[in-house]
Structure 1
């Protein structure tokens, strides 16, 4: 009896211990789960918010940034954001740190996109020491971004096009040409891990450029959208803009209009992205007035290939129109009195897409916005970016001289003095450029406002044969 009682008590104790261990394990697991951060899923923006595009020469090109701006100018014409390009040719992560206070923090950004790494890898096969420098400087840069209350959006380095490098005239180290794209993949994979674990935004620039290039080379082995192997051409920069906006889950559709008749023949419509009025079915078609909330996203002619490669209009800017109950036949669609296309009743019943139709007044209005923004970026925005080249040289030389102690290189000292004099007018250049930038942006917000459009659909009358 005594042994049986002891045995029962021991079993009870072991059961209690097991229960406590299980509970503690669950609590530890729950605590660990609670510390995990969700990566930034989408941009939360309002008028007055500032976005800084921080980077190297690929950002200094003022192209993918320009196309992203075009998207916001046309998709959110009532929301005025503040865009600041902070790219400098040749920049590494350390260079971004050197100019951070004036070129990033001064604009009080809500979001800072970071595109660095192409130069940091130094165009050679993977080197752990070089990567550790990038690692250290990027960690410091991220900390500074967080320190000003901004949200970092880390973007992978773009593609190094080895085939384009081999086709080019510039002599390069064959080993570097073969391996450098994979070095950039490594850098980008690390950035993805940092973003995922820290709750930052993340944009994969690398994969879309590589995947589109690989697919295109199945038909054209010499295809490239990065002719110099490093800097994406305008179509490639559209791919980059698409990647940024897609990964940040922006609003993809411009509008959807669905028109039909009730059983009693009464016209009815459902619409998203605007206000539809004056709907009428006539004996030979349909007419209505449409005031959209936004315009389609379009890019200048030199970048159109990028729009085609990404199916930009369909995926990011769809203007859908479907009309049901039309008698069999073909119909001419006019907007504000201008013919934009001819469609079968069956196509209209399925739906047609108008966002890439250059004949529509909405497309033409959006193109005016894009061209004015191109003028803005080619002019004052790029002028301001060019002024930072001298500062970058100054900061690098000063860093070298500081490391030399008392025995300073006289040639470097002389160069530093010349650059310092050159920089005396930099602030003036920045302020003048920003004033010109703002003046052009004011013009953009005068022409990017949607207006009511009159749609008329008429049946094509077949000509009688003689």
Structure 2
């Protein structure tokens, strides 16, 4: 293994067991079972973020015969006292079997850190947050059939030098909430995963090379796509899914024998003088990585950029292809007559990760799933914009779910002075009509059904032909 990759894996393993008040920062959290209904509950980092969508994409491609549903229950700007008021409508009424809850960024306040008594004010914020959390904790305790996971939220970046506006000590306050979540999870026998400390440590390592590095370039709060993918990585790792390969097989060319095969089937193996052919059926697809910076808070980085920060490819995306006892030389690899690469016999003997090749037919199949999942994500965001408008504006006016002209008139009073409402208002005036929400919901369901129809791996014809004769 490359020494840099090994060092990064070792570094992250150490991070994974940092203590919080004497407790392990990461508790093992259950992987999702077939048929699971998962709700990720949180603030804007969940509302507009991709981490839960990236997690679902892993399950869509790695476990094609185990469909699950993942639902976004994030609302921008909310603290835990806001979340507790919508638990029934936005969480429990969706009949979840698994609930993940994160909070802390908004709970700890913002402008108070510019005041002389910031420490005292932040302590008051923390007390209020944890007081409301106790109410949620009691509600969750009563839901015996639901798996519960608490997530220590992503950090407020105080260390990057990309600008000079920093709310000092804010992340220290967030960490106190993270530690309280950790304590609660242990007390209740729930799962816990900390995004905060590992992301801080990754940032500090990167800032040694580039002082302006940050996951949250727009505002020190909202992680870009690379940060969202790191969050997905940390969650999947806490579920114990690292080391779960797409597939793995070893062929002895000299004896024309399949020595080992895991999560795949090799058949019709044939060795001729300068060529090796066989049929390959994996039982999973490689994880597709998006190279486009998707929508969000001024996003500049892509999901794929996270591969420079965490060993996701090494731990989660191995489609390991190995051939020993080939004649020394260079071989042309094709899959279904598609040229993939020219590879030396030494490389083949060491093993090749086919997931590194986006042009393979199986990767191209996975890309279709990625784009469908992205379309689903965009439709789901419309619902989140609608609910953000309901809970952020209409609830305090006594017009929650009124969805009538009176509600529109009230929102129009806010429009001139609220930039965020102006961005979401167009979705509200559509989503206020139940017929439109039904169409959107049916469309999302159709996308998910299509994903689980086309995510089944198929047999591919693999050919290795020596080319340096």
Q: TM-score with structure 1 length normalisation?
A: 0.80
Give the conservation status (yes or no) of the 8 Å contact 2:386–2:432: no
The corresponding residue for 1:402 is none
Instruction: Tell me how far 1:139 sits from its aligned partner.
Output: 2.1
SS in 2 for 1:115: strand
Give the conservation status (yes or no) of the 8 Å contact 1:208–1:239: no
Instruction: Tell me how far 1:308 sits from its aligned partner.
Output: 3.1
Give the conservation status (yes or no) of the 8 Å contact 1:112–1:153: yes
CA gap 1:416/1:357 in 2 versus in 1, 3 angstroms: closer
1:184-333 to 2 correspondences below 5 Å = 184-228=174-218, 229-250=220-241, 252-260=244-252, 265-302=255-292, 303-333=303-333
SS in 2 for 1:310: coil
CA gap 1:242/1:206 in 2 versus in 1, 3 angstroms: same
The corresponding residue for 1:157 is 153
SS in 1 for 2:348: helix
Give the conservation status (yes or no) of the 8 Å contact 1:384–1:429: no
1:374-403, CA deviations, whole angstroms, 9 ceiling, x for partnerless residues? 11112x20011111112212576269xxxx
CA gap 1:166/1:222 in 2 versus in 1, 3 angstroms: closer
The corresponding residue for 2:423 is none
Q: Which whole-Å CA distance do the structure 1 matches of 2:96 and 2:366 have between them?
A: 27
Q: Which whole-Å CA distance do the structure 2 matches of 1:437 and 1:98 have between them?
A: 26
Instruction: Tell me how far 1:266 sits from its aligned partner.
Output: 4.6
Aligned pair 1:145/2:136, yes or no? no
Aligned pair 1:41/2:20, yes or no? no
CA gap 1:359/1:70 in 2 versus in 1, 3 angstroms: same
Give the conservation status (yes or no) of the 8 Å contact 2:431–2:437: no
Runs of 4+ in 1 over 6 A off after TM superposition: 416-419, 421-424
Q: Which whole-Å CA distance do the structure 1 matches of 2:138 and 2:433 have between them?
A: 27
Q: Which whole-Å CA distance do the structure 1 matches of 2:222 and 2:81 have between them?
A: 20
CA gap 1:266/1:83 in 2 versus in 1, 3 angstroms: closer
Give the conservation status (yes or no) of the 8 Å contact 1:53–1:59: yes
The corresponding residue for 1:443 is 450
1:6-45 to 2 correspondences below 5 Å = 41-45=28-32
Instruction: Tell me how far 1:357 sits from its aligned partner.
Output: 1.2
Indicate the larger mover: 204-213 or 430-439. 430-439
2:71 to 78, 84, 91: 84
CA gap 1:146/1:285 in 2 versus in 1, 3 angstroms: farther
Instruction: Tell me how far 1:110 sits from its aligned partner.
Output: 1.4
1:162-173 to 2 correspondences below 5 Å = 162-164=158-160, 167=163
The corresponding residue for 1:425 is 432
Q: Which whole-Å CA distance do the structure 1 matches of 2:99 and 2:62 have between them?
A: 21
Q: Which whole-Å CA distance do the structure 2 matches of 1:130 and 1:392 have between them?
A: 21
Instruction: Tell me how far 1:47 sits from its aligned partner.
Output: 3.1
The corresponding residue for 2:340 is 340
1:128 to 123, 140, 144: 123
CA gap 1:428/1:218 in 2 versus in 1, 3 angstroms: same
Give the conservation status (yes or no) of the 8 Å contact 1:267–1:281: no
SS in 1 for 2:67: coil
SS in 2 for 1:167: coil
Q: Which whole-Å CA distance do the structure 1 matches of 2:137 and 2:281 have between them?
A: 43
Q: Which runs of 5+ in 1 are unaligned?
A: 1-35, 400-411
How many equivalent residue pairs? 403
Instruction: Tell me how far 1:309 sits from its aligned partner.
Output: 1.9
The corresponding residue for 1:71 is 58
SS in 1 for 2:356: coil
Q: Which whole-Å CA distance do the structure 2 matches of 1:424 and 1:359 have between them?
A: 39
Q: Which has the higher helix share?
A: 1
SS in 2 for 1:437: helix
SS in 2 for 1:178: coil
